[in-house]
Amino acid sequence: MISCRELTKRFGAFSAVDNLSFEVAPGSICAFLGPNGAGKSTTVKMLTGLVAPTSGEAIVCGLDVHRDSLAIKRKIGVLPEDLGLFDDLTVEEHLELTGRLYGLSRDMTAARTTQLLRALNLTDGRDTFAGHCSHGMRKKTAFAMVLLPNPEVLFLDEPFEAIDPVTSKIMHEMLVLIATRGVTVFLTSHILSVVERIAHQIVIIRGGKMVWNSSAEELPASLEELYFDLAESPATGELEWLGSARS
């Protein structure tokens, strides 16, 4: 469902993503992990057609992302880290707009909107303007917008960050459910405890290069231990003066 073949993105002499190759099977949840600046967001932008690769190939839903970007956009849902909501539209109006943009009938949009609002505990806030919503409500609204067209593949950039535990639980349980129904999920996250519970595949990059790719069952240790072994550790040994006796 998702295939990267020697995918590379350079900005001048800097390689943000360097020769990345991996595949994600249909109906699986792939966690794409790495420290800040590792190249995760750039990779997601290439996989969703927002940024052209310098070299290499990205295939999503059997289509070349660079050559068939418009066709692919009809098959995927993208949750960006900044959410991209309009402050002067209500929660429900965001979903109505999404339905129109994807060419869904008014009746289908209304039915799906009602179901998604109920599933995400947003029914009581459906008439709230996005500019007045809490961060959790905004995140759930954007998540509902992504799900409404019933995409084949979901790309989620930091979906669990800065939300309360209840919202996080609702979202990750929905991801597990739709994956069992054949939807492919590709997500970035720093919340390793959630990732370890729901992911089928773990890909870790550092400095634009892939340093790990396996199924969750093949992890040699806990995900947290593996991640910190592979990610660059801070030089905390240089801070021996912290907490020491003061003269």
Check whether 140 has a pLDDT greater than 80: yes
- Minimal CA–CA distance to 150: which of 84, 73, 75? 75
Would 189 be classed as within a structural domain? yes
Clarify whether residues 11 and 65 are in a common domain: yes
Q: Report the number of distinct structural domains present in the chain.
A: 2
pLDDT in tens, 65-113: 988 988 999 999 999 888 889 999 999 999 999 999 999 999 999 999 9
Residue 100, domain extent: 87-150
Same domain for 214 and 93, yes or no, is no
Structure-block tokens of residue 201:
């595949």
Residue 239 domain-assigned (yes or no): no
214 neighbors 227 (Cβ within 8 angstroms): no
- Break the chain down into helix, strand, coil percent, rounded to 5: 40, 25, 35
Tens-place pLDDT, residues 164-213:
888 889 999 999 999 999 999 999 999 999 999 999 999 999 999 999 99
Residue 31 C-alpha from the chain's centroid: 8
In this structure, are 157 and 228 located in the same domain? yes
User: Does residue 185 lie within any of the structural domains?
Assistant: yes
- Percent residues over pLDDT 70 in the chain: 96
DSSP 135-151: HHHHHHHHHHHHHTT--
Question: Looking at residue 46, which CATH number applies to its domain?
Answer: 3.40.50.300
Same domain for 59 and 35: yes
Q: Confirm whether 211 is domain-assigned.
A: yes
Q: What was the pLDDT predicted at 162?
A: 79
CA distances from 222 to 87, 209, 217, 218, 229 (A): 41, 22, 10, 10, 11
Residue where a domain stops, chosen among 107, 124, 150: 150
User: pTM for the complete prediction?
Assistant: 0.90
What's the pLDDT at 232?
A: 61
